[in-house]
Amino acid sequence: MRTMEDAGPMTRTSGALFVGRQTRWGQAGRDLIAVAVATLTTFLLSATFEVREWMTEVTRPVEHYQMDELPLTFAVLALALAWFSLRRWREAERELRLRVEAQAQLAEREDEHRLLAQKYMLVQEEERRSLARELHDEMGQCLNAIKLDAVSIRNVAQGRDPEVEAGANAIIELSAHVYDVVRSIMQRLRPAALDALGLRDAITDLVGQWSRRNPSVQCRFDATGELNELGEAVNITVYRLVQECLTNIVKHARATHVTVAIERTGDVLRVTVSDDGRGMELGVKRTGLGLLGLRERVEALAGKLELHSVQGNGLQVCAQLPVAAGADASRQPPARSAVAEGEGQER
């Protein structure tokens, strides 16, 4: 069902069409007055100075060229030109109307596309969450059982059969290693900290883990404003954004300092990840999917993603997301927002 908000672009464009039509009629009226004044002035001047009689006198010597037929011919030409321009004007108006309608349809499709993208992200996250649950419940339990059995075998074999004991120890070590791998896959599939701790602490945890893995890079995290109750969609978008940016920094930046900042001011959430690495050339087509996916995620929530970079001087990834006070954005269609338009820019 279309709501008043849905009808926004159409109302705006038809409003603009109405105002445009009014302006056009105003101009046409002024032009018609100019035509009438010019015609009347010509008539009065011709009447005063007897122009036609004078022309007859002047053209009498070349009468055989039928010059006296020219006034009527020109009058017909003027009428024909008026008819011609009227038809072109109507054509232009029809074209304009079609273009305005197409623009309104495009805006509507964009809104639908944004809704679809948001839905797709939520379904993807739900799928990842259930995969992580399956991994935890199935693999986790099996590995634990294998480890317990191996411990029993080792206890029985201890002091009696060194070969069996060594084999059991190897199974214990291997199952612990596989469990660590599964845990890290689960963590990547679904950040458990996000559900357990909330956005602020989940990002603190993410940044902490990242710093431990990359001790040569100094990473600072600042969070200001109310970050609770932002909703599942916003939380997961911010988490994935910080996650991808930190991964990119390790892969591409060669940075020594990184800052992650989340700031909420009223109904706008601003997330910035900056590094002092080698930066990148913006506007160049790339094959990577990370930044592309981030833009999709942010725009699905009617937000805006900007990249600022000077080569050799680091990269700043900045996302602005509209957040309704106290509302769970995952259950709401994204509103068309003041921060919804715009491309990445260079600094």
Ligand X SMILES: Nc1ncnc2c1ncn2[C@@H]1O[C@H](COP(=O)(O)OP(=O)(O)OP(=O)(O)O)[C@@H](O)[C@H]1O
* 8 or 290: CB nearest Mg ion: 290
282: Cβ contacts below 8 Å, ≥ 6 apart:
307, 309, 344, 345, 346
Question: In the set 15, 26, 283, 288, which binds ligand X (CB under 6 A)?
Answer: 288
Residues 239-278 within binding reach of Mg ion (CB under 5 A):
248
Residue 316 phi/psi, 5° resolution?
Answer: -120, 120
- The angle subtended at Cα 229 by Cα 320 and Cα 297, nearest 5°, is 35
- Sign, Cα dihedral of 271, 324, 132, 144: positive
Distance, C-alpha 194 to centroid of its chain: 24
Q: Smallest distance, Å, CB 242 to ligand X?
A: 12
Q: Which of residues 303-322 bind ligand X (CB under 6 A)?
A: 315
Residue among 275, 276, 299, 306 that touches ligand X (CB under 6 A): 275
Task: Residue 106: name its binding partner from Mg ion, ligand X, none (Cβ under 5 to 8 Å by kind).
Answer: none
User: Mask: binding to ligand X, 240-269, rule CB under 6 A, as x and -?
Assistant: --------xx-xxx----------------
Which residue in the shown chain puts its C-beta closest to ligand X?
288
111 binds, among Mg ion, ligand X, none (CB under 5 to 8 A by kind): none
- Does the protein bind ligand X through residue 280 (CB under 6 A)? yes
Element (H, E) at 321: strand 315-322
Separation between Cα atoms, residue 259 and residue 211, nearest integer Å: 12
Site string for Mg ion, 274-303 (x = CB under 5 A): ----------------x-------------
Q: Report how far residue 93's alpha carbon sits from residue 31's, in angstroms, rounded to the nearest whole number.
A: 18
Q: Judged by CB under 6 A, does residue 9 bind ligand X?
A: no
User: With binding defined as CB under 6 A, does residue 289 bind ligand X?
Assistant: yes
Q: Would you say 182 or 317 has its CB closer to Mg ion?
A: 317
Closer residue to ligand X in complex, CB, 136/252 = 252
Which of 245, 241, 128 is closest to 192 using CA atoms?
A: 128
HEC assignment per residue over 88-145: HHHHHHHHHHHHHHHHHHHHHHHHHHHHHHHHHHHHHHHHHHHHHHHHHHHHHHHHHH
Q: Which run of H or of E encompasses 17?
A: helix 8-49
**Interface positions with ligand X (CB under 6 A):** 248-249, 251-253, 275, 277-280, 286, 288-292, 315
Binding site for Mg ion (CB under 5 A): 248, 290
